[in-house]
Amino acid sequence: MKAVSVVLPPTDDLEGVEPDLGLLTVLRDDGSLRDIEGLVIPPGLAFEAYRHLKQLRIVDARMMLLQRQGRVGFYGACTGQEATPIATGLALAPQDWVFPALRESSIMLVRGLPLATYLCQVFGNAGDLLKGRQMPSHMSARAVNQASWGSCIGTQLPQAVGTAWAAKLRDDDVAVVGFIGDGGTSEPDFHNAMNFAGVYKTPCVIVCQNNQFAISVRPERQTASATYAVKGRAYGVPSVRVDGNDVFAVYHAVRVALERARRGEGPTFIETLTYRIGAHSSSDDPSLYRSQDEVDAWVARDPLQRLRRHLVATGALDDARDAELEGTLNDAIGRAIQEAEAHPLPDRDTLFEDVYAELPWHLREQREELLALPPAPTHGGGH
Ligand SMILES: Cc1ncc(C[n+]2csc(CCOP(=O)(O)OP(=O)(O)O)c2C)c(N)n1
């Protein structure tokens, strides 16, 4: 079988092909939905997903601009890949846990974290729940059961599987979703996590966002496997490959996998096939390693526009309502950025918090020394 290479935008699903080698698609190009057995799309899901996708698209564009203006130090956008985090966020139950990679922080917004609080993490200021200690775009919040990505590719998956194992041992009604990129599947942690999940049947869903790049490295240099999903077979983990630009396909696959996990049937591995339309991060220039034609072919499969066609076809959206939604989102995002950016830098005293219950003598000394210095500038901003 041919190894994966940069895949052209999918135009059809491959009926009759095994789940880990085919491609589950629900949303047709004309906006209608395929008749798939057991498909669960709750009423209102499509519009809710659209609102979140659109919000995320705008937030990412605004934050990339702020990075260019020197107002934030770094940003990792997920433009073109929004369907996976948003659909997953909508499929989760409140008690579930999420262990993201770089491009899934937005699940926190879907689960109710205020946007201004979320953005304070990017500014790394006093409004940041993490007290400015993490790189931007590495959000986390206990209130929505989401851990922070550690930046070291793959480390989040053993954490996800371990958390799921703990839930199983405690008989908690908790499922865990862990994310990884296509590049991350070459890390030992991916294999450790898949193996452990398979053997101990931990209640988790491992999602690989195959955006076809690990910075500039393409899938054919990453693996000789026919798909990423097929890797789950070796670990005895049921696996499925879905159209990652189709919010309904991702929602359906994650929802079914979460239900399996809750029934005690163990892990599922999901590859979501998508494409990173934007740069790897604010530190990358993708024009050095790919053509605009290739990008344009995927822009034509934009998950946001595909979902829009569905909403228009079903009468849930028209141009006027869409413009109104865009205006509301732009206003709310503008206000959230203003509110977030207005916070001062974290108090320097906070440097000494959260590690020791009681500060050891040498840190007490360092703290006193620091506090004796003139105050640092209190203005937030760059890193
Ligand atoms: C262990 C480790 N090696 C290398 C890096 C540098 N690095 C940061 S992101 C990245 C590519 C990740 O690609 P992928 O897993 O496909 O996720 P994507 O960024 O495409 O979402 C690399 C190599 C790192 N952060 N950690």
**Secondary element (H or E) of residue 48:** helix 45-68
Given the CA of residue 276, which atom of ligand 1 is nearest to it?
20
User: CA-CA distance, 228 to 239, in Å (whole number)?
Assistant: 9
pLDDT digits (tens, 9 = 90+) for 37-69: 889 899 999 999 999 999 999 999 999 999 999
Q: Is 1 in the pocket of ligand 1 (CB under 6 A)?
A: no
Please say if the pLDDT value at position 3 is more than 70. Answer: no
pLDDT digits (tens, 9 = 90+) for 105-128: 999 999 999 999 999 999 999 999
pLDDT at site 17: 76
* Mean pLDDT on 255-284: 97
Give the orientation angle of helix 83-91 with respect to helix 247-262, to 10 degrees: 40
pLDDT at site 2: 42
Q: If you measure from the C-alpha of residue 261 to the centroid of ligand 1, how many angstroms do you get, rounded to a whole number? A: 28
Of the candidate CATH numbers 3.30.413.10, 3.40.50.880, 3.90.228.20, 3.40.50.970, the domain formed by 45-341 belongs to 3.40.50.970
Q: If you measure from the C-alpha of residue 366 to the centroid of ligand 1, how many angstroms do you get, rounded to a whole number? A: 35
pLDDT digits (tens, 9 = 90+) for 287-318: 999 999 999 999 999 999 999 999 999 999 99
This prediction has a pTM of: 0.94
- Of the pLDDT bands very low, low, confident and very high (cuts 50, 70, 90), residue 270 is very high
pLDDT at site 1: 41
The residue from 280, 301, 306, 310 that is catalytic is 280
Q: If you measure from the C-alpha of residue 99 to the centroid of ligand 1, how many angstroms do you get, rounded to a whole number? A: 16
DSSP characters for 77-125?
A: --TT-THHHHHHHHH--TT-EEE--TT-TTHHHHTT--HHHHHHHHHTS
pLDDT digits (tens, 9 = 90+) for 198-226: 999 999 999 999 999 999 999 999 999 99
Residue 289 annotated in active site: yes
